[in-house]
A and B are shown apart, each in its own frame.
Chain A
């Protein structure tokens, strides 16, 4: 069974740092396009970041320069290092596998999701 398990969330003060983890089973993180998507309380979905199987990384403007996506192949785990956290970063963070479309040549949509981990930024 393919499964993504998110962890690492919690309550953190503004300006602080937190690292989220996404442990994968049934798929290899390094061989897939892996992403983070967040959802503020009562709001819609917002894409945060993606790491391609080849290692390229991309970020939403709202987190660029503050967040870093990475992976540990030996642990089959995806990470999101979040620095300089702000109140507006408060959200449930989901890791997700982006399926690769052979038709377009790009990862187009998110077909496997973790259960999410809550990050609250508040003093």
Chain B
């Protein structure tokens, strides 16, 4: 089973700053990795799929990169609405299923 490890667990930044979130897989997942944003009391929202493709309606300040085992979500200039919890996710071929990282909480400094 592939394990996804996100770091840091908590990231404290100010609006306007650049945020860099990391997701490391215990074995290669090629480039099939997704990122989600979740705000309190809301369902997750897909931000990035296939490691670097922005989902529909996602602002250009969100970007994803990486392949194999190391992936990064970058928010170029933080807006007040970006403070939330972020999860990475991948699909396993066997056993068939999906795994999420434990999340990174992005909070206002």
Contacts and interface: CB of A to CB of B under 8 A. Distances in A.
Interface residues of A, number: 26
B102 interface: yes
Interface size class of B (residues with CB under 8 A): 20 to 34
What is the predominant secondary structure among interface residues of chain A facing chain B? strand
Given A108-B34, A113-B43, A114-B43, A44 B101 contact: yes
Contacts of A44: 87, 100-103
A108 B44 contact: no
B49 A46 contact: no
Contacts of B55: 111
Interface in B44-103: 44-46, 49-50, 55-56, 87, 89, 91, 93, 95-103
Contact of A108 (B45, B50, B97, B102): B50
Contacts, number: 67
Interface string A28-58: 0000000101000000111100100000001
B32 A104 contact: yes
B58 to A, nearest CB: 11
A45 B45 CA distance: 12
A109 to B, nearest CB: 4
Interface in A85-117: 94, 99, 101, 103-104, 106-111, 113-116
A113 B49 contact: no
Given A37-B98, A50-B96, 10 more contacts: A44-B102, A45-B36, A45-B103, A46-B100, A60-B97, A103-B50, A106-B93, A108-B32, A108-B49, A109-B89
Interface of B: 30, 32, 34, 36, 38, 43-46, 49-50, 55-56, 87, 89, 91, 93, 95-103
Interface of A: 35, 37, 44-47, 50, 58-61, 94, 99, 101, 103-104, 106-111, 113-116
